[in-house]
Every structure is written in structure tokens, then in C-alpha cells.
Amino acid sequence: MVCTDGIILGRPHSRAYGSFPRVVGRYVREGVLMLEEAVRKMTSAPAQRFGLLDRGILRPSLAADITIFNPETVIDTATYEDPIKFPEGIEYVIVGGEVTVENGKHTGERNGRIFRHRQLNQPS
């Protein structure tokens, strides 16, 4: 699975903004991973592992969490010195059916939610 331990509060670590784009931007383009495997490791594999029954795959009636990116241009841009930088190449992000990134720009929409451990096996 692909994950990050980057924390967004205070002065975040650069990987909080760049772990997932780096997987595609570097490891997929360098041939370490196939794109389909990388996407699975970022979506359905963690959702299944953590019991998020309505996430990780696209299917009617499930949560609509979607990222639309260009696999040729996506890359992380955050650094240790400047950690709050959005990646390049991500055109749209839809969280729970609401557009949060449109044409590469954050819309201000904050539709995500926090899952507590006791909630993990409950459909949302």
C-alpha cells in the first residue's frame, strides 16, 4: 500500500503534500510500478485493508472519491524548505461527490471527513 505519515498541522513534512504524486511521477514513469498497480495500492488496497467498505473502487452507491491526473506530468513539488506546495498534473479531485480541485486549483471545498477506528467497518 502507499501511505504517508506526513502531518498537515503546523509545519508539515513535504510528504504530506507529495507522497501519492511521487509514486506516479517517479516510480511509475521510471518503470518500478505499473500505473494500474500504483493506483490499486493507493485506492482499493488500503480501503479493503482498513475496512472502508464504500471506498477504494468506483461503483454506483459508493462514495465518489476520484482523482483525475495526467500520468505524464503528475509530480510532487513540496520540499523540506517549502513543504506546503500542491503537486503538478492533478486536474480534478472529487471527494464524496464534491469537486475539491478543478483545473488544477483547489476550490476551497472541504468535503473530506475523519474516520475513527470504531467506524472503519461501517458503511458511510
Report pLDDT for 122: 55
Are 19 and 4 in contact, with CB atoms under 8 Å apart?
Answer: yes
Copy the grid coordinates of residue 65.
472519491
Domain ranges of the chain: 15-119
Q: C-alpha 63: how far from its chain's center?
A: 14
Copy the grid coordinates of residue 116.
475513527
Rounded average pLDDT over 53-70: 91
Which residue is it, cell 493506483? Answer: 39
- Tens of pLDDT, residues 75-105: 999 998 999 899 999 999 999 889 999 999 9
Lowest average pLDDT, out of 2-16, 18-32, 35-49, 107-121, goes to 107-121
- Tens of pLDDT, residues 8-36: 777 888 888 889 999 999 999 999 999 99
Q: C-alpha 120: how far from its chain's center?
A: 18
- In a 3-state reduction of DSSP, which class is residue 102? strand
- For the chain, what percent of residues have pLDDT higher than 90? 60
Copy the grid coordinates of residue 61.
452507491
Count other C-beta atoms under 10 Å from residue 74's C-beta.
22
Report pLDDT for 117: 60
